[in-house]
A and B are shown apart, each in its own frame.
Chain A
Amino acid sequence: MPRILSLSTYPIVKPVHGGQRRINAFADQLRANGWEFHYASVFEAPHYPKALTSPNDIPLHYIGAEWRDIPLIGDLQSGVFAATSAHAYDHFLTIVRSTKPDVIQLEQPFLWPLIKALRDNGEIQDVPIIYSSQNWEAPLKYDMLLKSGVKESDARKVQDYIVGLESELVAASIATVAVSASDAEHYRALGQCPPVFVVPNGVSRPVQPSAQDEAAVAEIFGEEKYLFFVGSAYPPNIEGFQNLVLKKGLFFRPPRKSLAICGGVSHGIFNSPQYQAHIHANSRRVQFFPDVSDGGLEALKRSAHAIILPIEFGGGSNLKTAEALASGKWVIATQVALRGFERFVGQPGVIVADTPDAFRAAIIRVLAEKPLKLSKAAAKLREVVYWDRGFQDSGYLEFVQSHAKHSQV
Chain B
Amino acid sequence: MKYFFDLSTTARWSGHAVGIVRVERELARRAALIDPDIAFCIYVPHENAFHRLRPDIVDDILSGRLGVEFGPGPPPPLAAVPDSLRFRVREAVLALPRLYQILQRLKGRSFTLDEIAAVKRDEAARRAAPVPSPVAAKRTIQEASAGRIDLSSKVTIISGGLDWEYKDLRAIYDLKQVHKFRYAAVVYDLIPQIFPHYVVPSYVGLLKDYFGELFWTADICMCISECTRRDMIKYCSDNGVPQPRSAAFPLGCDIPDEPAQLGALPAQLAGKRYALFVSTIEPRKNHRTLYAAWARCIEQGLIDPDRCRLVFVGRTGWATGDLLQEIENNPATESTILRLSGVSDSELNALYRGAAFGLFPSFYEGYGLPLAEMLNHGKACISSRSGSLEEVGGSFVEYVDPLDTIAWSSQLARYFNDEAACADLESRVAASYRPVTWDDAASLFFERLKALA
Shortest distance from the beta carbon of A278 to any chain B beta carbon, whole Å: 6
Given that A249-B208, A284-B170 are contacting pairs, would A254 and B216 also be in contact in the complex, using a CB cutoff of 8 Å?
yes
Residues of A with C-beta under 8 A to B174: 255
Q: Does A252 contact B (CB under 8 A)?
A: yes
Contacts of A234 on B, CB cut-off 8 Å?
Answer: none
Number of interface residues of B (CB under 8 A): 13
The reply to whether A280 and B170 form a contact with Cβ atoms under 8 Å apart is: yes
Q: Smallest CB-CB separation from B171: which chain A residue?
A: A255
Q: Does residue A277 face the partner (Cβ distance < 8 Å to B)? A: yes
Complex alpha-carbon distance, A249 and B212, angstroms? 8
Contact, CB under 8 Å: A251 / B170: no
A345 at the interface (CB under 8 A from B): no
Beyond A249-B212, A281-B209, A281-B213, is A255–B170 a contact (Cβ under 8 Å)? yes
CB distance from B207 to the nearest CB of A (A): 11
A258 to chain B, nearest CB (A): 11
Contacts of B241 in A (CB 8 A): 251-252
| Contacting residues, chain A, for B239 (C-beta < 8 A) | 251-252, 364
8 A Cβ contacts from A276-315 to B = 277-278, 280-281, 284
Contact B240 A278 (CB under 8 A): no
Asked if A368 lies at the interface with its beta carbon under 8 angstroms from chain B, I say yes
Q: Mark B199-216, 1 if CB is under 8 A from A, else 0.
A: 000000100110111001
A367 at the binding interface (Cβ < 8 Å): yes
A365 CA to B240 CA in the complex, in Å? 8
Cβ 8 A contact of A254, one of B173, B205, B209, B211: B173
B 391-444 contacts with A by CB, 8 A: none
Given contacts A280-B170, A284-B170, contact A251 B205 (CB under 8 A): no
Q: Which residues of B contact A255 (CB under 8 A)?
A: 170, 173-174, 213, 216
Given contacts A249-B212, A364-B240, A368-B240, contact A278 B205 (CB under 8 A): yes
A-chain residues with CB within 8 Å of residue B216 when the two chains form the complex: 251, 254-255
Interface string of A250-266 (1 = CB under 8 A from B): 01111100000000000
B240 and A281 within 8 A (CB)? no
A284 to chain B, nearest CB (A): 6
| Assembly CA distance A280 to B209 (angstroms) | 9
Question: Closest residue of chain A to B239, judged by CB?
Answer: A252
Bound together, the chains give a CA A251 to CA B205 distance in angstroms of 13
Q: How far is the CB of A277 from chain B (nearest CB, A)?
A: 6
A281 and B239 CA atoms in complex are apart in Å by: 15
Q: Which A residues form the contact surface with B (CB < 8 A)? A: 249, 251-255, 277-278, 280-281, 284, 363-365, 367-368
In the assembled complex, the Cα of A254 lies from the Cα of B240 at a distance in Å of 10
| Contact of A281 with B173 at beta-carbon distance under 8 Å, contacts A251-B241, A252-B240, A364-B239 already known | no
Nearest CB of chain B from residue A160's CB, rounded to whole Å: 47
Report the bound CA distance from A53 to B212 in whole Å: 49
Instruction: Please report the C-alpha to C-alpha distance between residue A255 and residue B240 in the assembled complex, in whole angstroms.
Output: 14
Q: How far is the CB of B46 from the nearest CB of chain A, in Å?
A: 16
Inside 8 A of A252's CB, which chain B residues have their CB? 239-241
State the total of A-B contacts with C-beta under 8 angstroms: 38
B170, A278: Cβ atoms under 8 Å?
no
Docked complex Cα distance between A378 and B241 (Å): 31
Is B240 a contact partner of A367 (Cβ separation < 8 A)?
Answer: yes
Q: Which of B131-178 contact A (CB under 8 A)?
A: 170, 173-174
Q: Using Cβ atoms and an 8 Å threshold, which residues of chain B touch A281?
A: 170, 209, 212-213
Closest CB-CB distance, A37 to chain B, in whole Å?
A: 49
Within 8 Å CB of B240, what residues of A? 252-253, 363-365, 367-368
Docked pose: A277 CA to B196 CA in angstroms: 15
What are 24 A-B contacts with C-beta separation under 8 Å?
A249-B212, A251-B208, A251-B211, A251-B212, A251-B216, A252-B239, A253-B240, A254-B173, A255-B170, A255-B173, A255-B174, A255-B213, A277-B205, A278-B208, A278-B212, A280-B209, A281-B209, A281-B212, A281-B213, A284-B170, A363-B240, A364-B239, A364-B240, A365-B240
Min CB gap A102→B, angstroms: 58
A362 to chain B, nearest CB (A): 11
Q: Provide the residues of chain A in CB contact with B212, threshold 8 Å.
A: 249, 251, 278, 281
Q: What are the residues of chain B within 8 A of A367 when measuring CB–CB?
A: 240
Q: Which residues of A contact B208 (CB under 8 A)?
A: 249, 251, 278
Q: Which residues of B contact A365 (CB under 8 A)?
A: 240
- B173 and A278 form a contact (CB under 8 A): no
Chain A residues near B173 (CB-CB < 8 A): 254-255
Give complex CA distance A277, B208 in Å. 10
**B312-364 residues at the A interface, CB under 8 angstroms:** none
Of residues B174, B211, B239, which shows the largest number of chain A Cβ atoms within 10 Å of its Cβ? B239
Q: C-beta contact mask, B214-256 vs A, less than 8 Å → 1, else 0?
A: 0010000000000000000000000111000000000000000
* CA distance in complex: A227, B170 (Å): 21
Shortest CB-to-CB span from B352 to chain A, Å, is 40
CB-based nearest B residue for A367 = B240
Sample of 7 more A-B contacts, CB < 8 Å, known A254-B216, A364-B239: A251-B211, A251-B212, A252-B240, A254-B173, A281-B170, A364-B240, A365-B240
CB B242 to nearest CB in A, in angstroms, measures 9
- List the 9 shortest-distance A-B pairs measured between CB atoms, nearest first: A251-B212, A364-B240, A254-B216, A252-B240, A255-B170, A252-B239, A255-B173, A281-B209, A277-B205
Interchain CA distance A284-B217 in the complex, whole Å: 14
- A278 and B170 alpha carbons, distance in the complex (Å): 13
Alpha-carbon distance between A284 and B240 when the two chains are bound, in angstroms: 17
CA distance A249 to B240 in the complex (A): 12
Q: How far is the CA of A277 from the CA of B174 in the complex (A)?
A: 22
Docked pose: A253 CA to B241 CA in angstroms: 7
Contacts of A368 in B (CB 8 A): 240
CA of A252 to CA of B193 in the docked complex: distance in angstroms?
A: 14
Closest to B169 in A: A255
**A284-B239 Cα distance, complex, nearest whole Å:** 17
Cβ contacts under 8 Å, B211 to chain A: 251
Compute how far the CA of A251 lies from the CA of B212 in the bound complex, rounded to whole angstroms.
5
* Complex CA distance for A249 and B170, rounded to whole angstroms: 15
Report Cα–Cα, A278/B207, bound state, in Å. Answer: 11
With most chain A CB atoms within 10 A of its CB, the pick from B173, B205, B216, B240 is B240
CB contacts (< 8 Å) of A284 on chain B: these are: 170
Q: In whole Å, how far is B138's beta carbon from the nearest beta carbon of chain A?
A: 29
Provide the bound-state CA to CA distance between A363 and B174, in Å: 24
CA distance A365 to B211 in the complex (A): 21
Closest to B240 in A: A364
Min CB–CB distance B177 → chain A (angstroms): 9
A280 cross-chain contacts in B, Cβ below 8 A: 170, 209
Distance in Å from the Cβ of B380 to the closest Cβ of chain A?
43
B434 to chain A, nearest CB (A): 39
Q: How far is the CA of A277 from the CA of B213 in the complex (A)?
A: 15
A357 nearest in chain B by CB position: B238
| Shortest distance between the CB of B17 and any CB in chain A (Å) | 30
Q: How far is the CA of A363 from the CA of B213 in the complex (A)?
A: 18
State A331–B82 Cα separation when bound (angstroms).
Answer: 69
Closest residue of A by beta carbon distance from B173 = A255
CA A253 to CA B173, docked complex, whole Å:
13
Docked complex Cα distance between A254 and B216 (Å): 6
| Minimum distance in angstroms from B400 CB to a CB of chain A | 33
Q: CA separation between A302 and B266, bound complex, in Å?
A: 73
**CA of A119 to CA of B173, assembled, Å:** 72
Q: Point out the residues of chain B lying under 8 angstroms from A277, CB to CB.
A: 205
Query: What residues of chain B lie closer than 8 Å to A251, measured between beta carbons?
Result: 208, 211-213, 216, 239, 241
